[in-house]
Amino acid sequence: MMPGSLESIQYLVSSKEPCGIETPSKDYSSTEVSSVVATCENVEHYKQMGRIDPSQLLHRMLPLDKKHSFWETQPVEQYHDRGKNTEDEGPIAPLRSVAEVRTNPYKLPKHYEWCICDLNCTHTMNEIFNLLSNHYVEDFESMFRYNYSKDFLQWALRPPGYFPSWHIGVRVEATKRLVAFITGIPVNMRLHSMCMPMAEVNFLCIHKKLRSKRLAPLLIKELTRRVHLENIWQAIYTAGIVLPTPLVTCQYWHRPLNSKKLIKVGFSQLGLGMTMGRTIKHYRLPQKTFTPGFRAMERRDISAVARLLQQYLQQFVVAPELSEADVEHWLVPLNNVVNTYVIEDVESHNITDVCSFYTLPSTVLGDQRHTALKAAYLFYNVTTKTPLSQLVNDLLIVAKQSEYDVFNVLDIMQNQSFLQELKFKLGDGHLQYYLYNYRLKEPLSPGDLGVILL
């Protein structure tokens, strides 16, 4: 989810979820739910808040009798279950056999039909791009909207072993117009020491004029059915809103790279007592990277990068099991999609460190001067020799030189360690991680997560 002004999202359960649902605006926004954390004014206060179990924050700020008519029928942890520690860790619903899964799609409202969206078809890709560009995630004030490029969508939705049948659309029968979309991709996820196949769900998008037709639950159920047909029974997903029940709540931080533009479009504002000139000077970056051996990743680095990532991710409670094929797909640089850099030791020529970010711009709505914000999002990083803050600072320099406007970070993994030093600003955006049909016995903190969902 987008940081800064795009944190309070209404119509979305983003990033991986056979249970992401279009949530009407009357539901609690992420800002309402996390108001205590959102009012933190400095890093130390935030860290103190971070010591509080996020589930306890949710219990304090959400009425436990709030009804979620769809989610209460799904195998997800419910609010009233959190903190009881009475259930064993593992699947919530008994695992079934594929033979028990219904073979027919769920019935849609009259005049609509299911379709599989073929990402190899240029016309279909244009339809998906246009639907997302006009109807996907935007902030409550309608100032910004995600603008996924076609290359990004191809990258995000076609990892090794992907299932074309998990790219699901809804069309108008008469015109064949694409009006709704949901996707899943397969991932091998480790929870503690248990590794299992899961689905990540993303891009749940419904045309704004059709959001009263309750298509979202049908999209979720249909994707769930197709996931089950592949003998996969769990999923992981994220949302900017609070549903039953977050695995963990994370916070967005952002580092201005083009302060003048960010302030002009309303993404940020001048600090108390600050002028534009002082603000620009405050966030000024060096012209060159610091770390010797810093270079773009190449295909010859895949094995070394995979080994580093596989070892590094073992320290987290929830993390993906990445093969060399996964690393090749997700981290080999792709222009305007993903940038990955390695540190090659100048003497041994071994790869000692890895850092990366992906590109996700946003359309600026209603501004004649600027039409887009170019945003970088921190991706996967591994340090064995170079301090993480130094690696990320080099990424900031590279992003600034490439004319990015802002660099965004979630406070997961070890990211909290460099936020203050590198002048990241605490955003008002929160991202909830969820599991479908799996319960962890103990609550997690953001630092327990080693997985990034696009």
Are 179 and 235 contained in the same domain?
A: yes
**Domain region containing 105:** 4-249
Question: Could you tell me which residue, 155 or 52, shows the higher pLDDT?
Answer: 155
Are 437 and 393 contained in the same domain?
A: yes
103 occurs within a structural domain: yes
**pLDDT band, residue 53 (cuts 50/70/90):** very low
**pLDDT band, residue 4 (cuts 50/70/90):** very low
Whether the per-residue pLDDT at 428 is higher than 70: the answer is yes
> What is the C-alpha radius of gyration for the chain, rounded to an integer number of angstroms?
21
19 occurs within a structural domain: yes
Say if residues 449 and 317 touch (Cβ distance below 8 Å): yes
**pLDDT band, residue 252 (cuts 50/70/90):** very high
- CA-CA distances (angstroms) from residue 447 to 319, 337, 410? 11, 26, 10
Are 297 and 226 contained in the same domain?
A: no
Are 372 and 284 contained in the same domain?
A: yes
pLDDT recorded at residue 105: 98
Return the sign of the alpha-carbon dihedral for residues 216, 8, 185, 168: positive
Q: 230, 249, 268: which is the final residue of a domain?
A: 249
Average pLDDT over residues 307-312: 98
Say if residues 19 and 436 touch (Cβ distance below 8 Å): yes
Question: Could you tell me which residue, 79 or 380, shows the higher pLDDT?
Answer: 380
- CA-CA distances (angstroms) from residue 232 to 158, 235, 237, 327? 18, 8, 15, 22
What is the rounded CA–CA span in Å between residue 197 and residue 187?
6
454 occurs within a structural domain: no
Residue 369: other Cβ atoms inside 10 A: 8
93 occurs within a structural domain: yes
The string of DSSP codes covering 175-194 is T--EEEEEEEEEEEEEETTE
Average pLDDT over residues 182-188: 98
**pLDDT band, residue 18 (cuts 50/70/90):** very low
The string of DSSP codes covering 132-147 is HHHHS-BBTTS-EEE-
183 occurs within a structural domain: yes
Return the sign of the alpha-carbon dihedral for residues 221, 95, 325, 381: positive
Start-to-end C-alpha separation, the chain: 8
Tell me the residue ranges of DSSP E strands in 72-225: 112-116, 144-146, 167-172, 178-191, 194-206
Here the tokens at position 224 are: 């769930």
Based on DSSP, count helices (H) and strands (E) in the chain, helices before strands: 12, 17
453 occurs within a structural domain: no
Q: 249, 283, 303: which is the final residue of a domain?
A: 249
What is the rounded CA–CA span in Å between residue 297 and residue 267?
32
Distance of CA 131 to the CA centre of its chain: 19
Q: 454 an active-site residue?
A: yes
Are 243 and 319 contained in the same domain?
A: no
Q: Reduce the DSSP state of residue 254 to 3 states and report it.
A: strand
pLDDT recorded at residue 55: 44
Domain count, the chain: 2
pLDDT recorded at residue 37: 32
pLDDT recorded at residue 84: 60
**pLDDT band, residue 66 (cuts 50/70/90):** low
Active-site residue, from 58, 204, 262, 454: 454
Say if residues 144 and 138 touch (Cβ distance below 8 Å): yes
Q: 232, 249, 266: which is the final residue of a domain?
A: 249
pLDDT in tens, 106-143: 999 999 999 999 999 999 999 999 999 999 876 656 78
pLDDT recorded at residue 140: 56
Are 245 and 272 contained in the same domain?
A: no
pLDDT recorded at residue 83: 59
Are 264 and 242 contained in the same domain?
A: no
233 occurs within a structural domain: yes
CATH of the domain at 414: 3.40.630.170
CATH of the domain at 159: 3.40.630.30
Whether the per-residue pLDDT at 197 is higher than 50: the answer is yes
Whether the per-residue pLDDT at 350 is higher than 90: the answer is yes
- How does the average pLDDT of the chain come out, rounded? 86
Are 226 and 268 contained in the same domain?
A: no
Whether the per-residue pLDDT at 40 is higher than 60: the answer is no
Are 152 and 280 contained in the same domain?
A: no
Strands 375-378 and 406-410: parallel
Whether the per-residue pLDDT at 61 is higher than 50: the answer is no
pLDDT recorded at residue 237: 96
